[in-house]
Every structure is written in structure tokens, then in C-alpha cells.
A and B are shown apart, each in its own frame.
Chain A
């Protein structure tokens, strides 16, 4: 069972809709037992980093996530804010994150003033390595992005893919069982479906 973690932020329903369309069973839940017995976890999210961490804390999810992801090596996919929450720190609210990957979340400060922030719309990615996540994906995929902050990985080896917006930034990472995507696969047609199908095979 794939558990989509419900921490009152973002759009777990959209992810479940796509998984259901793909014939993949999932449950939206904040229940600790569900998380403990899950095959894999998806951490969705749209919104403010600080609010995200507060909600995870209030729901008592931080310890159970640490146990399942770091000790039991359960695959986890953070999407958008969910990806950023997996990092060590964010400039949004100047706050510590879950720290499951050696990375920082930083604000876009672009020299080109014609580029708007948030980075919102469809953009392309360049895959930097082969991982179970991007096996057999379409050539020239495009994905839907909406974000004002981006992830900066300390280790180049963790970068799954990168995107150009004023500069190159990390649009996906993978470190062991820990995956993050800055864009929304659940809102990216077949391109997103390919990634979610791959993740749900891990």
C-alpha cells in the first residue's frame, strides 16, 4: 500500500486521483500505523515550509517518518514542498527541515528581472543519473512547476534531474530510498504518470 501523507497542506487528492487512474492503490492518511505498515510513502505539499513542519510536528509524524525512512529504509517521495521538507533547512521561515538528505532549500533570487517568481508553468528537466524513478521515461518530458524556493544538494551524486530557470536548479533528487521532485507529477499528464508508476514499483 502506498500512503499519501495527509498533513493538512497541499493536494493529496490530486495524487490519489492519478494513482487511481493508474490502478495503484493508495490511502491518504496521517495515521502512524498506516505509515508503519506502508510499502512506500508520498509526502505531498503546496504551501509554506514553516506551516508544513508545524503540521508534521503537531500530528506527531516526525518520529514515525524518521523510523520508517531512515531505519526501515522505506521509499519516500517528496513532491514540491514535500521535497523541500526532506532537506536540512529552508530559507522560507529560516527553519530546520526533516534533514533526510544533505540539502538546503533556498529562495529564488534571479538576476534576470523579467523572470517571475514563483516559477509557475511547464518546464523541462535534464536527468543527471539513472535511477529506478526515471527508468524508461519519455524523451523530452515536461512537467508542471509552481514554487518560489528550490533545493540545493550538497552532494552532486544525489541530483536526479535539473531544470533551467534563470540558472540551473535541482528539480529532482535521489539519495538511497529518499526521492524528491520539485514539480508536480500528478499534474503533468503522461510524463508525471511514468514517474509515479516507477516510484510505486520500488
Chain B
């Protein structure tokens, strides 16, 4: 039997705090990341993704001290993304106790990095993050550097290049859906699941547990969500929640 997909909270770091964006814009302060991780820990989340949204934009290295503090009480697998631009940086992050590094910006000009990391830590430790937007003309395209740079490639092309380059997993981020509660982009998810052999995690738009069921049906190995787990609707008051054991009950 196939494994149950993982339900994965995504935490965005910005200026050392925990923030939430909408469609990759307007970062809103949510709280203290350490405290949030502590709560997710108590809720026994399947996995945690931490993305520093400043690093690539500002061309700086990860905040190692903060990552170390976060993972010291994270008793689940943790993926980290943001500023992973060299093998040496990736190694430093792994040494802090992180299981997976997430690569987006470096993917444009340094695909060798994926292979280099995979050779030491295994392909499962290398996650390619594919951000994409639907265009008015020319169809759906992948974006880099936090959605700032448009590429000439469709998401499935980037996914195949990433798999070839050594990635062991894909995270698919629908920029237009992020923070909007519209549900996952199931059509594109299906397309990517068919295009690659490696596991695919879908992200952007999660609203209810039914979205997780739909993504599972479409072949997702994981579903990531931010707003749904840190906000309470209708007014987006900060309240951390998580459907513990959803696929195991």
C-alpha cells in the first residue's frame, strides 16, 4: 500500500519573525517562529517546511542561529529553504539538524548544486521548489527568486529538469493561490505527478481538509499549507491549528 501523504505546515521567516504572505506579497506578522514550532510539535505534524523569504532577495545566507533554535525542538522532519546557494551553506544547514533543503533561486544558474548535495545527503534531502503563475498570454510559467523572476519554462519542464539534476522531491507553489483559500491547483498537480517519478508536494490555496483529500486523489505525496494552519477565519486572527492524524484516523 502506498504511504499516506504528509500534511505539511509552511512557515515563512521574514526579518527574523514568522510572517504570512498572500500571493507572495504583503508579509503580515504572525508571531514568534519558535513558539509556533513548539505548538506544531505538540500537534505532531507530519513534517515542517521553513522558508526564509528574505535570503535570496537580499542575497544573504540563512539565519543559522534561528534555524538551530527552531529545529532543536522540532521532532519531525524539517525542510528549510532560503539562501541555499552553495554546497557549503547546505552542509551548514544539515548540521543544524535539518533533513531537507529546498532549492529555488539557485536552480536557475547552478543545477549542479542539486547533484552535489544529493551525492552526499541523498536525493531525498534535495527538494526543488517550483513557483508558478498563470499568464494572460503564453500559459503557465515557473518563477524564481520569490516570484520576482519569470522563467521561460512551464512548471512540468522545470520539474523534469529538477528530477534529472538530482532532486528527490518537488514542491509546487501556485503563486496566485497562496493565502487565498481557493483550494489546490489539482489540474497542474496531476500534470506534474505524471511528468516525474519523484514525490510531489502541492502548495498554495489550502482551505479545508477536503482539499487534502482531493490532492491525495490526484497523487500528491504531501500537501503544504500556511494560512489554513496559522489563521482562523473569517478575520484571519492568528490561531495555530492542524488536523493531527488526519489520514490515520
Contacts and interface: CB of A to CB of B under 8 A. Distances in A.
A189 B198 contact: no
Interface of B: 1-6, 41, 44, 46, 71-77, 94-97, 99, 120-125, 168-169, 197-199, 221-222, 248
Contacts of A115: 2
A121 interface: yes
**Which are the 3 A-B pairs with shortest beta-carbon distances?**
A121-B3, A13-B97, A14-B97
Interface string A55-87: 000000000000000000000000000000000
Contact of B124 (A17, A48, A118, A165): A118
Contact of A46 (B3, B4, B71, B121): B121
Nearest to A191: B44
5 contacts: A13-B95, A21-B75, A120-B199, A121-B3, A121-B46
B221 A48 contact: no
Interface in A148-189: 164-165, 184, 186-189
Contacts of A14: 71, 97, 99
A99 interface: no
A123 B2 CA distance: 10
Given A13-B97, A47-B122, A187-B99, A119 B3 contact: yes
A142 B44 CA distance: 11
A35 B41 CA distance: 32
Max chain B CB contacts within 10 Å: which of A120, A146, A184, A189? A120
A115 B77 CA distance: 21
